[in-house]
Amino acid sequence: MVMDRAYEGDETRQLALDLGFTPVVPPLSTRVEPWEYDRELYKRRNEIERLFRRLKGFRRIFSRYEKLDVIFLGFILFALIFDALR
């Protein structure tokens, strides 16, 4: 689970571990006992953030006009396909 540095608290990391995820978050520089994390995977977190930014460009996704989840999911898939073809 790739997390932002704001979620590097002990409780959040422990919850991710309890749920079976491996938390990928850098420790704060003030930590007494810092932990190891996958630096390359953390660098790729930006790709996910950019995808959400592009999806928010579709007003229907951002405003959630559809009442049915199936229609909303269909439009998200349409937006992803449209983005991949660009």
Residues 85 and 54 in one domain: yes
Distance (Å) of CA 54 to CA 9, 37, 51, 58, 73: 29, 28, 5, 8, 16
Residues 2 and 25 in one domain: yes
- Domain span at 2: 1-38
Residues 26 and 53 in one domain: no
Residues 16 and 54 in one domain: no
Given this model, what pLDDT does residue 36 score? 87
Residues 49 and 14 in one domain: no
Longest CA–CA span in the chain (Å) reads: 49
Residues 23 and 53 in one domain: no
In the chain, the number of structural domains is: 2
Given this model, what pLDDT does residue 86 score? 84
d(CA 52, CA 83) in angstroms, rounded, equals 11
Distance (Å) of CA 26 to CA 14, 40, 44, 51: 14, 11, 13, 22
Residues 4 and 23 in one domain: yes
pLDDT tens series, the chain, 86 aa: 888 778 788 898 889 889 999 888 888 888 888 888 888 888 888 888 888 888 888 887 777 777 888 988 898 899 999 989 98
Cβ atoms < 10 Å from Cβ of 83: 13
Residues 30 and 58 in one domain: no
Place of tokens 């660098």: 43
Residues 32 and 53 in one domain: no
